[in-house]
Amino acid sequence: MVESQASLEEYEQSQAARLVAQNNFDQIAKAERNRRFLAITEKIHAATSLTDHEYLLEILKEYPRTGRWILDCATLKDWMNPSSTKVPLLWLNGIPGAGEINLSLIFAIKPALTLPQMVYR
């Protein structure tokens, strides 16, 4: 009878240990799924324009002439001219990371300094 009770006690202890191990495993698996989800959403989540703007301001502190060449471009000047008869659309394109966003931010940051007649359409 003593052997039978010890066996039952050992069985209950092993069941309790198994439940604890299963709960730990479930928590670890859930944490890993959350980590992977956050990693994926971070990769596919678009950057905010505020982040880009702050980054550009830091660049402009070190290199104040950055992007000034585009403000001298005839196509851009024509686009900014309110009396222009061309379609009021300026298309900036390039490979990812080429700086299209930074160039568009240059328009927002420096227009009063370089082109006082700028009109936002």
CA distances from 5 to 8, 10, 12, 14, 15 (A): 5, 8, 10, 14, 15
Classify the phi-psi angles of 67: left when phi > 0, otherwise alpha if psi is within -120 to 50, otherwise beta. Answer: left
pLDDT tens-digit map of 62-109 = 888 888 888 888 888 887 777 877 777 778 888 887 888 778 878 777
Whether 8 has a pLDDT exceeding 80, the answer reads yes
pTM for this prediction: 0.42
Beta-carbon neighbour count of residue 1 at 10 Å? 5
pLDDT tens-digit map of 22-48 = 999 999 999 999 999 998 888 787 766
Gap between the Cα atoms of 118 and 116, Å rounded: 5
Gap between the Cα atoms of 103 and 100, Å rounded: 5
CA distances from 43 to 29, 37, 39, 51 (A): 21, 10, 6, 15
The whole-number pLDDT of residue 79 equals 79
pLDDT tens-digit map of 54-64 = 877 888 888 88
The whole-number pLDDT of residue 24 equals 96
Whether 113 has a pLDDT exceeding 60, the answer reads no
Residue 120 — very low, low, confident or very high, per pLDDT cuts 50/70/90? very low
